[in-house]
Amino acid sequence: MKFTQLFSKTKKDSPKDEVSKNAQLLIKAGYIHKELAGVYTYLPLGLRVINKISNIIREEMNKVGGQEILMTVLQDKGLWEKTGRWNDDVVDDWFKTKLKNDTELGLGFTHEEPLVNLMKNHINSYKDLPIYPYQIQTKFRNELRAKSGLMRGREFLMKDMYSFSKDKEEHEAFYEKMKGVYMNIFNKLGLGDKTYITISSGGSFSKYSYEFQTMSEAGEDIIYIIDQEKKLAINKDDFNEEIIKDFNLEIKKENLISSKSIEIGDIYSLGFKYSEAMNLKYTTKDGEDKFVYMGCYGIGIPRLMGAVVESNSDDKGIVWPKEISPFDIHLIGLDKVADTSNKIYDGLIERGFSVLYDDRADTSAGIKFNDADLIGIPIQIIIGEKKLKNNELEMKDRKTQEIKTVSVDSLYDLL
Ligand code: ATP
Ligand code: MG
């Protein structure tokens, strides 16, 4: 992608109406556009990051047998009345709307009800289980406060997977496995070290659930770290003597390190909560009818993007981990070397790299360098007249700011 063709521009100043670092940097660098508080448009650079994160998650979901679907945003009120969740006193962040004939509809904030209803068409016998449908889809939530940029949107993409199992045992094996799968995802995004599998309250069916909390000053939660190696923590909101007993923990609260943190994902055992309310049953080998045992597994994709920016930036801008950087390489062509720069751009593309090429002719080197650091692609290649006289160019590491001079001929071998 050539800079001169990219319609989104970097801005000189940070937006004044954003308080979060992630929104400030992402808007300044031209990744997103704010429509309303908590409502953002993804510009070309931002969408590339969203798609990369989605694909990492998708790959991990498919590996454990996930089957991707895409459900509707519009929700049938009748289904949600079956579980009591249409009631605004039970769910306080619905966006609701109406058809022209006054029939009420909701904009989905999650999808258990319609999915259980859908699965009644597909689950009959023990042979149909277990199954793991998931989607990457837009949720709507009328959040009270939306000041954390991408981390608390009123409209946001979520990966939501649901497990349908024959019994508690089958469910628990998968549930355990998903802890590892989630940590794999967060490791790939460079958040593994800071992310803790956090015991928290379980909702209405099971006593506990797990949140995946990434330590960050920008977080809205607080966790107590129980085990650094096993990456185990407890959410402050749920910390009590009962948890210590239930999990056989030898800890004293006053000895624990606490940290602010961001909830980037969570996993729940739903048990029979929805299958009972909506009568989702299967027939066992012995011909007995039983309710399906369920779990759900969420990750907020923009929240994850926001969390990565919060923990990977410096005073110059964003520093993407290479797995989700919008491009592999930021190529900077300086004055009077357009021919060579064009050739190297083509050479990189030919070799399968994705490249953002700053081909602006009327822009100073300083502005190009600042923009590259702001945008945050991990590798920068700088082509300038002086070095080129010796058949050399510069490679710069965005994170360390280290610059190496290398020969043009060795470039492709070094990447
Ligand atoms: P929170 O307590 O932060 O509101 P939640 O418990 O409501 O989160 P879930 O309903 O379990 O979250 O949603 C699954 C995941 O979706 C969360 O772990 C989080 O990563 C993400 N998420 C939740 N709400 C938002 C939001 N408003 N904007 C972006 N991501 C969100
Ligand atoms: Mg919430």
| 153 CA closest ligand 1 atom index | 28
Ligand 1 atom 16: the closest Cα is on which residue?
300
Ligand 1 lined by 266 (C-beta under 6 Å): yes
57 confidence band (pLDDT: 50, 70, 90): very high
Tokens of 83: 């579980």
Strand partners, 317: 314
Tell me, in angstroms, the distance from the centre of ligand 1 to residue 300's CA.
6
Ligand 1 lined by 263 (C-beta under 6 Å): yes
Mean pLDDT in residue range 340-346: 97
| Selection from 186, 198, 201 nearest residue 301 by Cα | 186
Check pLDDT > 90 for residue 203: no
Tokens of 15: 């937006």
| 220 CA closest ligand 1 atom index | 3
Ligand 1 atom 25: the closest Cα is on which residue?
152
Tokens of 16: 């004044």
Question: What pLDDT does residue 335 have?
Answer: 85
Question: What pLDDT does residue 162 have?
Answer: 98
Check pLDDT > 90 for residue 265: yes
| 160 CA closest ligand 1 atom index | 14
Question: What pLDDT does residue 205 have?
Answer: 87
Q: What is the mean pLDDT of the chain?
A: 97
Ligand 1 lined by 156 (C-beta under 6 Å): yes
Mean pLDDT in residue range 108-129: 98
Tell me, in angstroms, the distance from the centre of ligand 2 to residue 145's CA.
11
142 and 97 in contact (C-beta within 8 Å)? no
Tell me, in angstroms, the distance from the centre of ligand 2 to residue 235's CA.
15
Ligand 1 lined by 56 (C-beta under 6 Å): no
Unique residue bearing structure tokens 């800079």: 3
Tokens of 34: 């704010």
Q: Which long-range contacts (CB under 8 A, 24 or more apart) does 321-324 make?
A: 321/188, 321/189, 321/190, 321/378, 322/378, 322/379, 323/52, 323/56, 323/188, 323/189, 323/190, 324/49, 324/52, 324/53, 324/56, 324/189
Angle at 118 between CA 113 and CA 119, to 5 degrees: 100
Ligand 1 lined by 298 (C-beta under 6 Å): yes
Ligand 1 lined by 40 (C-beta under 6 Å): no
Mean pLDDT in residue range 310-314: 96
Ligand 1 atom 2: the closest Cα is on which residue?
263
Check pLDDT > 90 for residue 191: yes
**What's the burial of 286, exposed, middle or buried (CB within 10 Å: 0-12/13-18/19+)?**
exposed
The arrangement of secondary structure in 3-314, i.e. its CATH architecture, is 2-Layer Sandwich (3.30)
**Reduced to 3 states, what is the DSSP secondary structure of residue 391?**
coil
Residue ranges of domains in the chain? 3-314, 329-414
383 confidence band (pLDDT: 50, 70, 90): very high
Report the alpha-carbon distance of residue 21 to residue 402 in Å, rounded. Answer: 25
Tell me, in angstroms, the distance from the centre of ligand 1 to residue 74's CA.
19
H or E stretch including 413? Answer: helix 411-414
Instruction: From residue 67, give the alpha-carbon distance in Å to each of 136, 158, 161, 169, 229.
Output: 11, 15, 9, 21, 32
Tokens of 344: 């190297």
| 158 CA closest ligand 1 atom index | 16
| Selection from 116, 121, 91 nearest residue 106 by Cα | 91
pLDDT tens for each residue of 93-118: 999 999 999 999 999 999 999 999 99
Ligand index nearest the alpha carbon of residue 156: 1
High-pLDDT (> 70) share of the chain, % = 100
Phi, psi of 368 (to 5 degrees): -65, -45
Ligand index nearest the alpha carbon of residue 92: 2
Ligand 1 atom 26: the closest Cα is on which residue?
152
pLDDT tens for each residue of 346-371: 999 999 999 999 999 999 999 999 99
- If one residue of 206, 211, 303, 310 were mutated to test the ligand 1 pocket, choosing by the most ligand atoms within 8 A of its CB, it would be 303
Q: What is the CATH topology of the domain spanning 329-414? A: Rossmann fold (3.40.50)
Ligand index nearest the alpha carbon of residue 298: 1
Tell me, in angstroms, the distance from the centre of ligand 1 to residue 316's CA.
29
Question: What pLDDT does residue 213 have?
Answer: 98
Mean pLDDT in residue range 183-187: 98
Ligand 1 lined by 358 (C-beta under 6 Å): no
Ligand 1 lined by 159 (C-beta under 6 Å): no
Ligand index nearest the alpha carbon of residue 265: 1
Ligand index nearest the alpha carbon of residue 111: 1
